[in-house]
Amino acid sequence: MLSAAGWIKYLGLQPHPEGGWYRRVYTADFAVPEGSLSKIGIEDERPVTTAIYYLLTGDGFSAFHRIRQDELWHYYGGTLPLKIHTLSDKGYELIRLGSGLSDGGLPMGVVPAGRWFASELDGSSGPEPGPEDFALLGCTVSPGFDFDDFEFGCCSELLPQFPDYAELIKQFCITGDDCSI
């Protein structure tokens, strides 16, 4: 099995603003026309679907953020499963992705549109994840992703909305209160 560094090189991944590594590998040729997505706050045209490779190492995390579309996560492999922490008006939900029975994770999970989420490697069944640990995943977004649809979560914004999850928010928010990418 390749190491995290091996996968990063092999797949041509680059640093992602939220944390981890990524590369867009698919953009549908067909688009949702301009004005058709106004119900979810998108006025411009978007491809029907986009997909990326995403790799997270044990010495990092994906910071709280949200997008306007549904995002399907697919677990491909690695040394540890992935935990996705989500917050919404329905409260907290944990999505655990992994290779199946051996690690208790599911191979696919969905983060619904507009939900705040952050992720980390899951070392709950052993030692804390280290820099050599990783999870290789795919993310499929429909309608297709554009960075205009991306919003970082800031402590000053999330803490008043979700006071029961203050420790989680502080752990996975970007440094300071500058939510721009």
Question: Hey, what are 118's tokens?
Answer: 């952050």
Is 178 contained in some domain? no
Q: How many CA atoms lie within 13 A of 136 on its CB side?
A: 19
136-173 pLDDT, tens digit per residue, is 999 999 999 999 999 999 999 999 999 999 999 999 99
Q: What is the DSSP letter of 145?
A: P
- Please give the tally of structural domains in the chain: 1
Given a cut of 90, whether residue 181 has pLDDT beyond it is no
Cis peptide before 17 (omega within 30 of 0): no
Cα angle 113, 81, 9 (rounded to 5 degrees) comes to 90
The answer to whether residues 121 and 98 touch, using CB atoms and an 8 Å cutoff, is no
Is 96 contained in some domain? yes
Is 147 contained in some domain? yes
Is 181 contained in some domain? no
Is 50 contained in some domain? yes
Is 180 contained in some domain? no
Q: What pLDDT shows up at residue 177? A: 57
- What percent of the chain is predicted at pLDDT more than 90? 77
Is 82 contained in some domain? yes
Is 112 contained in some domain? yes
Q: Which CATH number is 94's domain given? A: 2.60.120.10
pLDDT class of 123 with cuts at 50, 70, 90? confident
49-95 pLDDT, tens digit per residue, is 999 999 999 999 999 999 999 999 999 999 999 999 999 999 999 99
Q: In terms of residue numbers, what domain contains 54?
A: 4-32+41-172
Question: Hey, what are 140's tokens?
Answer: 């499929």
